[in-house]
Amino acid sequence: MNAPVSDANRPLLEVSGLKKHFPLRGGFLGGVTGYVYAVDGVSFHINRGETLSLVGESGCGKSTVGKAILKLFDITDGQVVLDGRRIDNLPAGALRPMRRRVQVVFQDPFSSLNPRMRVRDILAEPIRNFGLARSRAELEERIAALMDKVRLPRDAVNRWPHEFSGGQRQRIGIARALAAEPELIICDEAVSALDVSVKAQIINLLQDLQQELGLALLFISHDLAIVEHMTHRVAVMYLGKIVEVAPKRQLFAAPRHPYTEALLSAVPVPMPGAQRERIILKGDVPSPINPPKGCRFHTRCPYAFDRCRAEEPPLRQTEAGHWAACHLHDLPAEQNPLAGAKGAAVLAV
Amino acid sequence: MALLEIENLQTHFRTPDGIVRAVDGVSFQVEAGETLAVVGESGCGKSVTAMSVLRLIPEPPGKIAGSIRFNGRELLGLSEREMRDIRGNEISMIFQEPMTSLNPVLTVGWQIGETLRLHQGLDKRAAEARAIEMLQLVGIPEPARRVREYPHQLSGGMRQRVMIAIALACNPKLLIADEPTTALDVTIQAQILDLMRDLKRRVGAAIVLITHDLGVVAEVAERVVVMYAGRKVEEAPVGPLFRNPRHPYTQGLLGSVPKLGSSLTGTATRLSEIPGLVPSLKQRIEGCVFASRCAHATDLCRKVAPALEAKAPGHLAACHYAPRESRGAAAMVAA
């Protein structure tokens, strides 16, 4: 392998200006009648060994970002750079070695494993595809090691997916992702479908594997408590845009976007009688086919003023490493309702 | 007399592989106007318990035994016609999936009015007028226009509001909500929970909330029943249950949930796991249902099913080793 020399200081993944617009077809001749602006200009980076979480509600485009990085479809605009090399425009052949380095774990462990393949074959496929084993014995050795890593019994390789519970299947899904020896794993709601006690097992497993193997994770989730537990940094998405990015503690202690503030206050917490101010957003998320002008959040924002309806706020740095897209930060601090936002800090007593 | 009294409820299903004991001897009561949460993981029997109360279990293959008294009246002996007078009228239900539990080819106004026409004999016009009132009550803007719309024209949160409007149309005394916010986004979930709290104050119906989400339980419930593998393992008022859980399963469940704000206190620790899997309900379980996954289990637990005992006033737990006094509980957790 003549892989390019890695620069340890360079981010593993850099996404800039990413857009994905899905055409809507209809009418008499089936022409394009509009677009779903699923992802509309998203930029972020992930460092080696780091977990970045993408959070947001359904339809905000977080899964589309994951799929765009995996090149499961062509993107509309922007760049995806893996370890210094642009990968979004590579032809299939040149992309192949790059695919090995980015793997994915999907949400539903019942539909993401081929029911007609034994566990051994599910795990052998990526090893063979990327030529990672030189002999049959080495292949078997690697499969056994993968089973150990995800804490499944070695003899389970001869069984079929339907013989396993949801949590065990998710372990198989993780083993399959690890088989390619990736540097980045995209976890798209990887624990959302699991029961509470099994969820904890898989979260612990992912954290252990990250420590052991130095993996970077893009953790796509709508569950803020799990994100807080798992992540190093968080990016909050709303209607196809990132509205806030920050290191975990900064974001949870002092959110700098009204949407993040509302999300944090809306999460039900398992502490009866917890005293906190709840911000209940009115209405629903607008359609990504026809997103609002100006700031996309202004239709639900409790603090919106005239400028928000006319002008779209860019993502700007408010403190070191903390970026937010909100006009409120142009106001003097005493008029900025977010200046004193405490987020989840009110719970941490 | 409590509003709803369930005693030794057993709902079993006959399958080709044997009898599945989905609910195996569950008893609890619901007082008028209170909110009781039934929590547990998938397959613990919480939904089957709810369906059994409304007799929505197909018989066969299902079979309901025990006793379910509503307002002092035994429901298990009633004819289908008598049951129909109760469903949607005195006891109503909200389901998890607002997408599939509304009829796509009828207007929402018609669906809200249906119970009113059937149970209260309203005519079409009066039913529609009442449907508009109900839509207003559940906070749907422009109710006079929305009442003529079809479910596909509404968002998920709005559909769940319509479901609540249908459930409350006849002023039921008991509302059973089966995972009412699980399919919804966080901000929409907050809206619906807020609505349920507000309506409860105004309408005064008792609520049985079925959920797996401990956060929702803490925010809405007054009392909690914890189910595991078809049995009730713990029951307590919401405060004591979260502060001082007595059953090892409840302790494990609470320890396995990450808490918002944990990174800020510096107390973020590894989540506690409950090892292993939920036992199959096809075999009769001798002894404690949780013994196979419990760190404290002994031979006694594997042989003898622990009885539900009051460990503190109003606090029941089915565990041989759960301490009776709150002083001892800390020692148990630390052990």
A 229-268: CB under 8 A from B:
229, 248-249, 252-253, 262-268
Q: What does the domain layout of chain B look like in residue ranges?
A: 4-221, 228-334
Task: Report CB contact under 8 Å: A272, B238.
Answer: yes
Q: Hey, of A53, A195, A227, A237, which one would you mutate to test binding to chain B, going by the most B CBs within 10 A of its CB?
A: A195
In the sheet that B35-39 helps form, which strands lie side by side, from edge to edge?
Answer: B91-94, B174-178, B206-211, B35-39, B223-228, B231-237, B315-317, B309-312
Q: What's the CA dihedral at B319, B324, B330, B332 to 10 degrees?
A: -30
Residue B329 scores a pLDDT above 80? no
Which whole number is the average pLDDT over A181-185? 95
Quick check: A46 and A215 in contact, CB under 8 A? no
Give the residues across from B62 on adjacent strands: B13
To the nearest whole percent, how much of chain A has pLDDT over 70?
97
pLDDT of A61 above 80:
yes
Q: Is A273 on the interface with B (CB under 8 A)?
A: yes
CA–CA gap between residue B219 and residue B306 (Å, rounded): 30
CA-to-CA distance for B30 and B21, rounded, in angstroms? 23
ipTM of the complex: 0.81
> Considering CB atoms only, which of B193, B260, B274 is closest to A344?
B260
Which helix H or strand E contains A67, and what residues bound it? helix A62-69
**Measured between beta carbons, which residues in chain B are less than 8 angstroms from residue A272?**
218-219, 238-239, 242
Q: Which of A309-323, B45-59, B197-211, B257-271 has the lowest mean pLDDT?
A: B257-271
SS3 A200: helix
Pairing of strands A51-55, A233-238: parallel
Residue B63 has which token pair?
A: 């079979």
How far apart are the C-alpha atoms of A58 and B242, rounded to whole Å?
A: 30
Minimal-distance CA residue of chain B relative to A269: B215
The encoded tokens of residue B73 equal 């009246």
Q: Which of B252, B260, B262 sits opposite A197 (nearest CB)?
A: B252
Opening angle at CA A257, ends B265 and A49, nearest 5 = 55
Task: Provide CB contacts within 8 A for B197, sequence distance 6+.
Answer: B220
CA distance B209 to chain A (A): 15
Within 261-300 of B, beta carbons closer than 8 Å to A belong to 261-265, 268, 270-274, 277
SS3 A52: strand
User: In the structure, what pLDDT confidence band is assigned to residue A1 with cuts at 50, 70 and 90?
Assistant: very low
Give SS3 for A314.
Answer: coil
Residue B193 to residue A229, Cβ atoms within 8 A: no
Give the whole-angstrom CA distance, residue B137 versus residue A256. 34
| Chain A positions in Cβ-Cβ contact with residue B239 (cut-off 8 Å) | 272-273
| Alpha carbon B288 to its chain's center | 23
With cut-offs at 50, 70 and 90, classify the pLDDT of residue B334: very low
B262/A280 CB distance under 8 A: no
- What residues contact B286, with CB distance under 8 A and at least 6 apart? B302, B303, B305
Q: Is A6 on the interface with B (CB under 8 A)?
A: no
CA distance A223 to chain B (A): 8
Q: Using CB atoms, pick whichever of A200, A228, A253 lies closest to residue B256.
A: A200
Q: Taking CB atoms and an 8 Å limit, are A253 and B215 in contact across chains?
A: no
Q: Chain A partners of B194 at a C-beta cutoff of 8 Å?
A: 278, 280
Nearest to B187 among A167, A204, A281 (CB): A281
**Chain A: closest CA distance from residue B86 (Å):** 33
Its sign, for the CA torsion A62, A68, A72, A76, is positive
Ramachandran class of B70: left when φ > 0, alpha when ψ lies in -120 to 50, beta otherwise: beta
Residues of B in contact with A269 (CB under 8 A): 215, 218-219, 259-261
Which among B186, B252, B253 has the least Cβ separation from residue A267?
Answer: B186
What pLDDT does residue B326 have?
A: 53
Is pLDDT of A233 > 80? yes
Q: Could you read off the pLDDT of B136-182 as tens digits, one per residue?
A: 888 888 889 899 999 988 888 888 889 888 988 888 999 999 988 88
B87 CA to chain A: closest CA distance, Å? 30
Query: How many contiguous H segments (helices) and E segments (strands) does chain A have?
Result: 10, 12
Of the options 3.40.50.300, 3.10.20.30, 3.65.10.10, 3.30.70.20, the CATH number for the domain spanning B4-221 = 3.40.50.300
Start-to-end CA span in chain A (Å)? 53
- DSSP calls for B142-191: SHHHHTT--GGGS-HHHHHHHHHHHHHTT--SEEEEESTTTTS-HHHHHH
Question: Percent of chain B beyond pLDDT 70?
Answer: 96
More confident residue, A342 or A140: A140
User: What is the rounded average pLDDT of the residues B192-203?
Assistant: 85
Distances (CA, A) of B77 to B59, B85, B89: 13, 14, 18
CB-side neighbour CA atoms (13 Å) of B295: 14
Tell me which of A115-124, B35-44, B228-237, B272-281 is least confident: B272-281
